[in-house]
């Protein structure tokens, strides 16, 4: 499993899966998309970096970077949960995220 952050083209965080660490890797799928209205409502600040609650991105001026997967994975028979950090540069923030995927 690897997470990739692309700020040059699409402002998305993608996830690739493989049975073995060396691959072969499957097709990527989107974990976060800064253009998604649901993501923007939850995590994008209002103008002038006025961030409250879970809002940490000035989505009109920033992108994802520094998305780092942490080594622990919570694995059950029906799902697995990964934990990762995600950063932004306007305003500068680092946050801990989790994502759960069904098998």
pLDDT tens, position by position, 63-78: 888 888 999 899 999 9
Among 62, 73, 16, CA closest to 39: 62
CB neighbours of residue 41 within 10 Å: 9
**0.95 exceeded by the pTM?**
no
Distance between CA 103 and CA 94 in Å, rounded? 29
Residue 51: the pLDDT is 81
Specify the number of domains making up the chain: 1
pLDDT digits (tens, 9 = 90+) for 3-19: 555 444 458 888 888 88
Instruction: Give the residue numbers spanning the domain of 82.
Output: 2-102
Distance between CA 40 and CA 86 in Å, rounded? 15
User: What is the mean predicted confidence (pLDDT) over 24-31?
Assistant: 90
Contact criterion met (CB below 8 Å) for 55 and 43: yes
Tokens 């998604």 sit on residue: 36
């Amino acid at each position: 499993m690897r997470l990739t952050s692309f700020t040059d083209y699409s402002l998305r965080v993608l996830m690739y899966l493989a049975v073995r660490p060396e691959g072969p890797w499957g097709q990527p799928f989107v974990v976060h998309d800064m253009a998604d209205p649901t993501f923007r409502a939850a995590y994008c600040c209002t103008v002038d970096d006025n961030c409250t609650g879970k809002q940490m991105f000035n989505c009109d001026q920033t992108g994802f970077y520094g998305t780092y997967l942490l080594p622990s994975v919570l694995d059950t028979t029906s799902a697995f949960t990964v934990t990762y950090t995600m950063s932004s540069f306007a305003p500068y923030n680092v946050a801990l995220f989790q994502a759960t995927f069904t098998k």
